[in-house]
């Protein structure tokens, strides 16, 4: 048995949680709601479907494209050592 991360969705038919497993992320046995899925896991699961164990409906999970409003940046400092002569 391997490790994985999971995303749960709610079956619109009966309200039961349906779980989708992914090995694309950190695989730290993390559990995510549809509102906070890491990008790698979302890309891996996009378009996947699972059967609801309660009512046997099929639940499809898809990403919701949204415009990116902010992005994190990183500053790297380059230290100049003495010059060659």
Q: Look at the pTM and tell me if it is higher than 0.75.
A: no
Report residue 61 as tokens: 């999970």
Give the chain's domain count. Answer: 1
Distance CA 46, CA 18 (A): 15
Q: Find the domain containing 34 and state its range.
A: 5-60
| Neighbour-count burial of 12, counting CB atoms closer than 10 A to its CB (0-12 exposed, 13-18 middle, 19+ buried) | exposed
The answer to the question of residue 71 being in a domain is: no
What are the pLDDT digits (tens) for 16-54?
A: 999 999 998 778 888 999 988 998 999 999 999 999 999
User: Would you state the pLDDT for residue 82?
Assistant: 61
The answer to the question of residue 52 being in a domain is: yes
User: Would you state the pLDDT for residue 72?
Assistant: 80
The answer to the question of residue 70 being in a domain is: no
User: Would you state the pLDDT for residue 78?
Assistant: 79
The answer to the question of residue 43 being in a domain is: yes
Question: Between 56 and 27, whose confidence is greater?
Answer: 56
The answer to the question of residue 13 being in a domain is: yes
């Amino acid at each position: 048995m391997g490790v994985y991360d999971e995303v749960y969705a709610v079956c619109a038919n009966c309200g039961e949680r349906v779980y989708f497993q992914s090995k694309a992320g950190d695989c730290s046995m993390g559990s995510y709601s549809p509102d906070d899925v890491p990008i790698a896991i979302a890309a891996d699961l996009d378009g996947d479907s699972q059967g609801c164990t309660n009512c046997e409906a099929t639940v499809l999970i898809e990403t919701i494209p949204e415009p990116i409003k902010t992005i994190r940046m990183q500053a790297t400092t380059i230290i100049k050592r003495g010059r060659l002569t």
